[in-house]
Amino acid sequence: MRSPFRPLTEVAQELVAAAVQSGDTVVDATAGNGHDTLFLAKQVGPDGHVFAFDVQQAALESTARRLRSFGLGHVTLLQADHCQMATSLPAALRGKLAAAMFNLGYLPGGEKSITTQPNTTLIALQTAMTWLRPGGLITMLIYSGHATGKSELAVLLPFLGEPHPEFLITEIDPQPERQHPPRLFAIQRRPFEETAH
């Protein structure tokens, strides 16, 4: 039977598609098997650029294979923790990123013990917020069905609920009927005209 719930990975991509244009620079904070990296590379086109982070070589190899099969080369794959974003990205990009996607957890089909962690995810999110351009968008997909995901939610929810006057933070398509539903948050930096007065 088909699940009545729309995959939040698809919803996240739709949101990002509306915020990103050809020529933009964007970040995939968790490359994994490269589905989001490929999507981002197509969105920004050959004049844009994608920086994709993952701590695992296996994930980056999987992402590289996917990109190669589509002949897409305007992507820099970084084997680094996304909490090192500020020192891994070119300094000139600060305040210029059009989008950053976080799809938390472990590599599907891979080693489950290598998973995103509450404190480093929080640092990476805070960095991405600082590096986002006005009007830019971060998507954060959190899975609470496993222990580390539950801890991530416990750290991220209070942060997302704090006042962030420069940002509009919204939970998208909540699915309270489900047990341990995945949670998708959109974090948009308000455009200049909204913050100017």
Ligand X SMILES: C[S@@+](CC[C@H](N)C(=O)[O-])C[C@H]1O[C@@H](n2cnc3c(N)ncnc32)[C@H](O)[C@@H]1O
Asked if 152 touches ligand X (CB under 6 A), the answer is: no
Asked if 107 touches ligand X (CB under 6 A), the answer is: yes
Give 74-123 as a 3 state SS string.
CEEEEECCHHHHHHHCCHHHCCCEEEEEEECCECCCCCCCCECCHHHHHH
Beta-bridge partners for 25 = 49
Quick one: DSSP state of residue 176?
Answer: T
Figure out which of the listed residues 59, 77, 98, 132 binds ligand X, where binding follows CB under 6 A: 59
Binding pattern for the stretch 9-38 against ligand X, x by CB under 6 A and - elsewhere: ---------------------x-xxxxx--
Closest residue to ligand X in the complex (CB): 32
- Cβ within 8 Å of residue 173, ≥6 positions away: 6, 8, 11, 184
Asked if 53 touches ligand X (CB under 6 A), the answer is: yes
Asked if 151 touches ligand X (CB under 6 A), the answer is: no
Binding site for ligand X (CB under 6 A): 30, 32-36, 53-56, 59, 81-82, 103, 105-107, 114-116, 120
